Amino acid sequence: MKMKSVLAVLLFCLALPGAQAQREIRAPWVHTFIPSAAGGERGIAVGVLPPLTPRYSDGAPVVVFVPGGADKGAAEGAPGHSGFGFVEVRFAFPGGGHGEWTSGGTYDHRGPDCIRALADVIKFASGKLADKDGRRIGELVPRTRVLTALTGIEGSSHGGNACGLAMATHGAEFRDLAFYASMESPYGEGAVNVELGGRDDKLNPAYNPETGVLDLAKLAWDANLQPGPGKRWRGAGTPLRGSLFFDVDGDGKFSEQSDFAVNAFTFDCGQGQKVWYTPRLIRAAEARKLFGGSRPAHIPMLAEAEEFWRWRDAQNSITNAVRNCTNLAVIVYANERDHVQIAPDHPHILAQVEGYRTAGAKFVRLNADRAYTERVAAGFPRERTAGLKFPDNDAGLAWSRRNIRTGLEPQELPLTLYMKAVVCELADRCHAQNWSKNLDAVLYPKAPWTLPAPQQRGGALPPRGPLPPRRGGQALP
């Protein structure tokens, strides 16, 4: 089906009186490849999803979604913000994707190649880079003016670290990036590895949430304990043996009941399978000679661990990110029940919201303005939202272990609702240039606020959308 025909059907169905089907209908993803040193000759696979209706009378803002965990990404996915008037951009990291829309290059587990690829996707989304056929993003979204000056990035969980590092390392290439929305991204040493304990396990007993101190004197080594990420995977997966743990009861051997096995990613980054403990743990283990006379092959040297985490924990890169992206507005979403972490003082949230605030980002707040959360929540069944009180934190407010819990969102609603409120507020503030500490109402009440339909499991990948012809065989200026 031609793009014009698809859009005609879309517009007709949206016009049907009382038709609930409008939540089911959307334009297809438009796929392409963009050039990137990290993607080889093939390039990076990118998908662009047009909005149902542009958010503003003068066009639609752009949001790039960055997936969390060790997800390699994909050039398509369930719509997140198209019903709110955004052009959505998704992509596959080097070596990631599906079928025809697989990126070139090799996946380096969110290392420098992944960061380079993300930076090029941001450049494409903000109109600074053409695809491999010379087309800018505005040409891939017919009948919609794409507001490339209103481009933002949404970091889902660990995807927020990639966002911070892309801004810090390559942000000079997209200095006018408008906003960054964080979905409980794990900033700070040990956060990505869930060293302090997570939902799959328990709070690390060696951590004191009142002081933020991890008692490294309790660190110990068990030559038979299987290393890996979290209790859920223990006993499966990697055949490696030999793991650090926190010997809380002090008896010199690991006990599931009283001790805490250290969570860690296990990746082969080119020199064999290694367990990527954080530098603070390796430094402490080396100082106390916990590995014994023969260091296990799967334990990286301190310098290796420091280089590994330099590309995967963005806390120490925040200052450079803000220095590069001088127009950046930031909202960090955080729930009273984090989607992974369990430490009650939410140190990963503090590291991020305080990091961007003290680095001088022009606008920083914890969670969306209540007016935006309530507006998005109005699309949910009333019985789901009745009695809930959303926080209304001032922008620029300083946060600490003492007050962080007063600013968190209630756990009764899905995090996707809160992220829609975050992204809408950021785009609206950038469009209106309104940087007040708090709002009495949403800035664009007539903007679209359509929640996507529930996604069905399974099914084929979204079809490729037809692309407009290349202009004269040359890249656009």
pLDDT (0 to 100) of residue 235: 53
| Amino acid symbol at 149 | A
pLDDT (0 to 100) of residue 114: 98
pLDDT (0 to 100) of residue 18: 36
CA dist 322 and 192 (Å) reads 22
pLDDT (0 to 100) of residue 27: 59
pLDDT (0 to 100) of residue 8: 36
pLDDT (0 to 100) of residue 24: 38
pLDDT (0 to 100) of residue 381: 86
**Closest CA relative to residue 367, chosen from 382, 377, 358:** 377
pLDDT (0 to 100) of residue 271: 87
Query: Which residues have a Cβ under 8 Å from the Cβ of 176 and sit 6 or more positions away?
Result: 126, 149, 325, 327
**Closest CA relative to residue 447, chosen from 63, 81, 178:** 81
pLDDT (0 to 100) of residue 451: 83
0.85 exceeded by pTM:
yes
| Token pair listed for 140 | 């891939």
pLDDT (0 to 100) of residue 453: 59
- pLDDT tens, residue order, the chain (477 aa): 334 333 333 333 333 333 333 343 455 899 999 999 999 999 999 999 999 999 999 999 999 999 999 999 999 999 999 999 999 999 999 999 999 999 999 999 999 999 999 999 999 999 999 999 999 999 999 889 999 999 999 999 999 999 999 999 999 999 999 999 999 999 999 999 999 999 888 999 999 999 999 999 999 999 999 998 765 455 555 678 999 999 999 999 999 889 999 999 888 998 899 999 999 999 999 999 999 889 999 999 999 999 999 999 999 999 999 999 999 999 999 999 999 999 999 999 999 999 999 999 999 999 999 999 999 999 888 888 999 999 999 999 999 999 999 999 999 999 999 999 999 999 999 999 999 999 999 999 999 999 865 433 222 333 333 333 333 322 222
Long-range contacts at 466-469 (CB < 8 A, ≥ 24 apart) = 466/2, 466/3, 466/30, 467/30, 467/32, 467/133, 467/135, 467/140, 468/135, 468/139, 468/140, 468/142
Q: Domains in the chain, please, with CATH?
A: 3-190+313-432 (3.40.50), 207-309 (no CATH)
pLDDT (0 to 100) of residue 6: 36
